[in-house]
Structure 1
């Protein structure tokens, strides 16, 4: 893959948290993709994922998510679901939601004075996908997981470019 940090790499560790509803599909896939891209470029990023709901705490990512990621050389088998905590809003620089409902929940949860920047992950994607919600593939098939992975890869590349310019 081509280098995404054309200008410079960040001088400090940037902390990024991806958030979806249950933390077994979209957000662990996003975590895996960004970890993979950051490792390829030796970027100092701390990357995690969580859910706004407590449905899947301690569970591994959905098998279809694992398979889609594995097909692109991204291993998410060791990840486990967890719920967003108030401390996350102080620990992470960026908290990136997969859709507007989860972004709304995050804004309602954010403690006063917490510095984390909240936005949609797709705000970092180029072109017409910028600002879109990442659809939940949970009730779909393997093709839905592949399409979500395509979206996540685009946004991850855009996020890395932004982080390198900051």
Structure 2
């Protein structure tokens, strides 16, 4: 499973899915390559018991798209971009993380926005992984 643009979604899905689920996060913009997760999201994740300090960003590749069984986009803009680059064979794998709505972008906002975003992302894991939170 691939979660685009969210190191926290990667960690939350992997935790909920346990050892049987491999999750990778990648972004569309190369400027985040090898960069740590946003400090405000690291702090919000910590409040929920997650550790993002080891995360390093990576840019999406066609190999990643081919590898993934499911590709989750945080918002419709990312989903539209993925549709444009993924190729017809990968189109059925694409979905919004929250099913029918965007995850609000907390970038440039205060810590409350990051906390709210993290809570929403963690709750959204139930849409994709049918196991209780661990």
Q: Which runs of 5+ in 2 are unaligned?
A: none
2:63 — aligned with what?
87
1:52 — aligned with what?
28
1:31 — aligned with what?
10
Instruction: State the Cα deviation string for residues 109-153 of structure 1 (Å, max 9, x = none).
Output: 112423760010001xxxxxxx11011111101100111111111
For the residue of structure 2 that corresponds to 1:114, the secondary structure is helix
Q: Larger strand proportion, structure 1 or 2?
A: 1
Shift in Å at residue 19 of structure 1? Answer: 0.7
Distance verdict in 2 for CA 1:92–1:29, change over 3 Å: same
Picking from 137, 152, 157, the partner of 2:106 is: 137
**RMSD value over aligned CA atoms?**
1.6
For the residue of structure 2 that corresponds to 1:18, the secondary structure is strand
Instruction: Check the 8 A contact 2:10/2:25 in 1, yes or no.
Output: yes
Equivalences for residues 1-166 of structure 1 within 5 A:
16-20=1-5, 27-39=6-18, 43-114=19-90, 117-123=93-99, 131-161=100-130
Instruction: State the Cα deviation string for residues 70-109 of structure 1 (Å, max 9, x = none).
Output: 1111111111111110111210001100000000000001
Distance verdict in 2 for CA 1:49–1:116, change over 3 Å: farther
Structure exhibiting the larger radius of gyration computed from Cα positions? 1
* C-alpha distance in 1 between matches for 2:92 and 2:35: 26
Q: Which 4+ stretches in 1 moved above 3 angstroms?
A: none
* C-alpha distance in 2 between matches for 1:147 and 1:132: 15
- Equivalences, count: 131
Give the TM-score normalised by structure 1.
0.74
Q: Which runs of 5+ in 1 are unaligned?
A: 1-15, 21-26, 124-130
